[in-house]
Amino acid sequence: MDGSKDYFEFIKRSLKFIEQLHGILQRKASLMVQDTFDHKLAQECARAFSVSTGLGCTVSDTAGHIFYEHGKGCGSCTLCEAAGLPHENCIRAHNYGMTEAERFGGKYIYFCPLGLTCFVSPIIGEVKSTAKITVGPFMMVDFQDFIDCELTDNLPLTQEARAELIRLLKEVPQMPPTKVQELSVLLFMAVGFMNNVSAENRLLEAERSDLLQGQISAYISGLKNQDAPPRYPFEKERALLLSISHGDRESSRKQLKELLAALLASGGGRLDWMKSRASELIVMISRTAAENGADEEETMLFNHICQKTIPSLGSFSALSNWLYHTVDRFMDSIQSYPDAKHANIIHKCIQHIGTNYAEHLTLEDTARAVSLSPDYLSRIFKEETGTTFNRYLNNVRITKAKELIRRGEYRLTDISQMVGYDDQSYFTKVFRRITGLSPGEYGKKTRRIQAPEKA
């Protein structure tokens, strides 16, 4: 009775946790990405713009904290410091540019405290601007004109400070005014596209979260009909790893959702327990990915990063969404450039077989030699060569055996051993299956053919 009472108390707590989690998700949906944005997408956008224009680009939040810089942008600029201007002046100028960009439809050209040019476009969250991409500083006028006007007329500098500032200004790129307006439009369009992609991703994320929480709610509700507390879902864990090893992304996502639901039920909603299970799961997924074609060093490095990330996840929702994306990342590592990877692996396998065919060689031995699982190697070997591993190995051995028989220097029992067959009867069986003749018959036929040539 006490066990049943405890169990139903567990069910009650779990259902209450689901209700709380649903409330958290609803609040998160209304606040999501007000304070965050897609850093990777913003970095790619800034890098592409910088490389294509030769101008420095920075990604920063609305307060001016810089996340990423490509080229010589505002983040690495030391001109104001060399001119003796306070850093706060820079922050105010860039914040002003951001405000004006929001007022004027998403782009704005402005001047920094030293008189150099910048332009900016805001990165939009769900409700408001959350960050910005700033291009600059650069000059819109001739270098000497800038020195004569800005430095001579506007800044009281010592001779040493002026010389140092001129040296730094020689590194600043120049851009004619006729191009600056067009470049600001180009940045506006690039950031606008990025904003649209981010908005779509947020919608997809919300759909995924709803799906995931629906799975969890249904799973725990189903526990009402069970007479005992749920066990650890080993079978669902194995199913997830199997889907990953087969490169089946959709199945992996489905299995992960079911596994997370089962883990939540097993752990009674305890976040620390869930984090420990997630850490163990990531280790197993890492090994599965490495055994199935992912780059070993990159996989182990990513595993290390994951282990550092897990403790910082503050809710089950954050943990489940992070796991969802992490499994996708592992799937990407398995499926990246599969043709090139497979060609290299098969080449190594063929070399290994050619060197070791006379030994007691197995698929497992060869898989270890190329750092893959036997199942994965078996599959890609068949896909790439059109034949199975064992059939290919037997063909290599019988080809070598035919060469030895034609030489006429060894007994058939010795030849059997020399090409990797301990059992001569099995050697004879395989030889007949491949050539249509027994080893003895093949030897006689070879000698009859060779006899006229010697005569």
Per-residue pLDDT, 138: 93
CA 81, CA 96: separation in Å to the nearest integer? 20
Q: Which of 119-128, 278-287, 332-341 has the lowest mean pLDDT?
A: 332-341
Please say whether the beta carbons of 80 and 113 come within 8 A.
yes
> Which comes out higher in pLDDT, residue 129 or 238?
238
| The two structure tokens encoding residue 11 | 């069910």
Amino acid at position 401, single letter = A
Q: Quick one: residue 124, left, alpha or beta (phi over 0 = left, psi -120 to 50 = alpha)? A: beta
Contacts of 238 (CB under 8 A, 6+ apart): none
CA 43, CA 190: separation in Å to the nearest integer? 12
CA 140, CA 184: separation in Å to the nearest integer? 13
CA 242, CA 236: separation in Å to the nearest integer? 10
Please say whether the beta carbons of 88 and 80 come within 8 A.
no
> Which comes out higher in pLDDT, residue 365 or 104?
365
Q: Is the pLDDT of residue 262 over 70?
A: yes
Instruction: Give the pLDDT mean for 134-140.
Output: 91
Q: Is the pLDDT of residue 340 over 60?
A: no
pLDDT band at 432 (very low <50, low <70, confident <90, very high): very high
CA 156, CA 83: separation in Å to the nearest integer? 9
Instruction: Give the pLDDT mean for 353-373.
Output: 87
Instruction: Give the pLDDT mean for 436-455.
Output: 75
Q: Quick one: residue 98, left, alpha or beta (phi over 0 = left, psi -120 to 50 = alpha)? A: alpha
| The two structure tokens encoding residue 352 | 């290994």
Contacts of 122 (CB under 8 A, 6+ apart): 98, 101, 102, 106, 129, 131, 132, 191
Instruction: Give the pLDDT mean for 143-167.
Output: 78
Contacts of 190 (CB under 8 A, 6+ apart): 45, 48, 49, 121
Per-residue pLDDT, 394: 92
Q: Is the pLDDT of residue 43 over 70?
A: yes
Per-residue pLDDT, 26: 45
Instruction: Give the pLDDT mean for 378-401.
Output: 87
> Which comes out higher in pLDDT, residue 201 or 118?
118
Per-residue pLDDT, 290: 77
Instruction: Give the pLDDT mean for 56-81.
Output: 87
Please say whether the beta carbons of 396 and 354 come within 8 A.
yes
Per-residue pLDDT, 120: 93
CA 140, CA 174: separation in Å to the nearest integer? 6
> Which comes out higher in pLDDT, residue 134 or 106?
134
Q: Euclidean distance between the first and final Cα of the chain, in Å?
A: 99
Residue given tokens 């396998």 in the structure block: 349
CA 347, CA 296: separation in Å to the nearest integer? 18
CA 440, CA 301: separation in Å to the nearest integer? 56
The 10s digit of each residue's pLDDT in 69-95 is: 999 888 888 888 888 888 888 888 888
Q: Which of 20-24, 171-175, 353-357, 445-449 has the lowest mean pLDDT?
A: 20-24
CA 92, CA 392: separation in Å to the nearest integer? 71
CATH 3.30.450 fits 39-200, yes or no: yes
Residue-level length of the chain? 455
CATH of 340-454, one of 3.30.70.790, 1.20.1640.10, 1.10.10.60, 3.40.50.620: 1.10.10.60
Mind spelling out the 3-state secondary structure of 16-57?
HHHHHHHHHHHHHHHHCCCCCCCHHHHHHHHHHHHHHHCCCE
Per-residue pLDDT, 34: 39
Q: For residue 23, give Cα distances in angstroms to 9, 35, 188, 213.
A: 21, 19, 37, 11
The 10s digit of each residue's pLDDT in 293-317 is: 676 777 887 888 888 888 888 887 7
pLDDT band at 338 (very low <50, low <70, confident <90, very high): very low
The 10s digit of each residue's pLDDT in 214-257 is: 555 555 555 545 555 557 778 888 888 888 877 778 888 888 88
Per-residue pLDDT, 57: 94
pLDDT band at 173 (very low <50, low <70, confident <90, very high): very high
Q: Is the pLDDT of residue 129 over 50?
A: yes
H helices within 310-423, ranges in order?
Answer: 316-335, 338-356, 363-369, 374-385, 389-407, 412-418
Q: Which of 33-42, 67-76, 151-160, 399-408 has the lowest mean pLDDT?
A: 33-42
Taking CB atoms within 8 Å and a gap of at least 24, the contacts of 63-70 are 63/95, 64/91, 64/94, 64/95, 67/39, 67/42, 67/43, 67/131, 68/39, 68/42, 68/43, 70/43, 70/46
The dihedral built from the CA positions of residue 392, 396, 399 and 401, taken in this order, carries a sign that is: negative
Q: Is the pLDDT of residue 284 over 70?
A: yes
pLDDT band at 31 (very low <50, low <70, confident <90, very high): very low
Q: Is the peptide bond before 374 cis (omega within 30 degrees of 0)?
A: no
Q: Could you count the other beta carbons within 10 Å of the beta carbon of residue 415?
A: 23
Nearest to 136 by CA among 178, 164, 97, 104: 97
pLDDT band at 114 (very low <50, low <70, confident <90, very high): confident
Per-residue pLDDT, 11: 53
Mean pLDDT of the chain: 78
How is the chain split into domains, by residue range? 39-200, 230-289+297-309, 340-454
Give the percent of the chain with pLDDT over 70. 76
**This prediction's pTM:** 0.41
